[in-house]
Amino acid sequence: MSNSTNAGAILTIDLGALKQNYLTLADHLSTGELAAVVKANAYGLGVQESATALHAAGCTIFFVATVDEGIALRAILPKATIYIFHGVLPDTGEELIAHSLIPILNSLDQINDWHPHRAQPAGIHLDTGMSRLGLSPQECEQCVALLTDYNIDLVMSHLACAETENHPKNEVQLDLFNALKQVIPAKHASIAASSGIYLGADYQIDLCRAGVALYGVNPIPAETNPMAQVVRLQAKILQTRSVDTPQTVGYGATHQATKPTKIATLAIGYADGYMRSLSNSGTAFIGDFEVPVVGRVSMDLTTVDVTDVPVALLKPGSLVDLIGPNNPIDKIADQASTIGYEILTGLGSRFERRYLSAEV
């Protein structure tokens, strides 16, 4: 990770906005408590800084994917409750206990692997329709006897279609979860992640797991985003040049000038997480001027059409907003035919990273 002012692009992370998003989501709860998901290095934004800010906002329960992520988070937050989505893998039980990490047991094999440590808290993942991780309804019945002397702290599941408020699968999954959690009682129950929070109190139960919404992605895509923008990505102009027909721009000659055009080349590319699928489809902003990406995004460079931008704004080193006030993550994700999760977690290591104060 670069902190050099010589970097070609700057990634600014507003920790105050991150805290505000946590508080916004917590205020939306009708019942229960809000946990934070900080897996994948806090969705690419830095787990040290992000988890510290979230803890300062009042968060005491965190979820990560892997044991290694849990160990790293434990060093940051010695007293937090930390769940491990991937559960216990062979030979990881002792490490989980040594670092006071709580595995989510996802299969009968994992339940058996955890048997020597069954007095320690664990969670159970119930598969209610994702067909990914978790116990099937049939396996839930099978494992009731196995779990009689286990310390089950949490039962959880995951909604497949929570972003679509009226999707019939949401209610089907909730009904199944409510039935299965009677079979495997636990201290806490959780089915709602970021979007599930907005499905109402029935889904919130007593623990919600806020993930991508904390980092500014819209949890209710059909409505105005209630989240504050956390990330701003700016790239520096390396050079501007004039082109005219029949000249082409970039690899593959996928963009051809049809009139006198000014092209600015930016110091960012797919090696930095600015996706190649934004070729000829992405947009950026120079001040209030929207400029299209033209030609293919290459490993280290991206070209934009700046024909209508005043020359004074096009000096070498001038900053161009790729993610910013006029270009939120969800808009970029749509242009790249992907989701905000992939945009965030793909942000690279060559940026100069700037963290704004966590005060709100």
Q: Which of 184, 215, 246 is the last residue of a domain?
A: 215
Sequence-distant contacts of 84-92: CB under 8 A, at least 24 apart: 85/39, 85/133, 87/125, 87/133, 88/113, 88/114, 88/122, 89/113, 92/67
Is the link from the previous residue into 168 a cis peptide, with omega within 30 of 0?
no
Does the residue 42 lie in any domain? yes
Same domain, 240 and 210: no
Tokens read off for 220 = 């209710």
pLDDT at 269 over 90: yes
Inform me whether the pLDDT recorded for 3 exceeds 80. no
**Coil, strand or helix at 262:** strand
What CATH number does residue 318 fall under? 2.40.37.10
Task: Report if pTM > 0.85.
Answer: yes
Single out the residue in 190, 215, 240 at which a domain terminates: 215
CA distance 122 to 9: 43
Inform me whether the pLDDT recorded for 101 exceeds 70: yes
User: How many CA atoms within 13 Å lie on the side-chain side of 237?
Assistant: 25
* pLDDT tens-digit series, residues 197-242: 999 999 999 999 999 999 999 999 999 999 999 999 999 999 999 9
SS3 (DSSP) at 278: helix
Residue 315 a catalytic site member? no
Say which amino acid occupies 326.
N
Residue 221 lies inside a defined structural domain of this protein: no
Residues 6+ apart with CB under 8 A from 75: none
Q: Check: CB of residue 208 under 8 Å from CB of residue 62.
A: no
Catalytic residue among 43, 198, 236, 251: 251
What mean pLDDT is predicted for residues 108-122? 95
Boundary of a domain, candidates 188, 215, 242 = 215
Between β-strands 231-243 and 319-323, what pairing exists: parallel, antiparallel or unpaired? Answer: antiparallel
In a domain, 338, yes or no: no
Q: Is 39 annotated in the active site? A: yes
Mean confidence (pLDDT) of the chain: 95
Ramachandran sector of residue 309 (left: φ over 0; alpha: ψ -120 to 50; beta: rest)? beta
Residue 77's domain comprises 15-215
Choosing from 19, 22, 39, 274, the catalytic residue is: 39
Domain count, the chain: 2
pLDDT at position 360 is 53
Beta bridge partners, 283, equal: 292
Summarize pLDDT for 147-186 with one digit per residue, the tens. Answer: 989 999 999 999 999 999 999 999 999 999 999 999 998 9
- The model's pLDDT over 43-64, given as tens digits with 9 standing for 90+, comes to 999 999 999 999 999 999 999 9
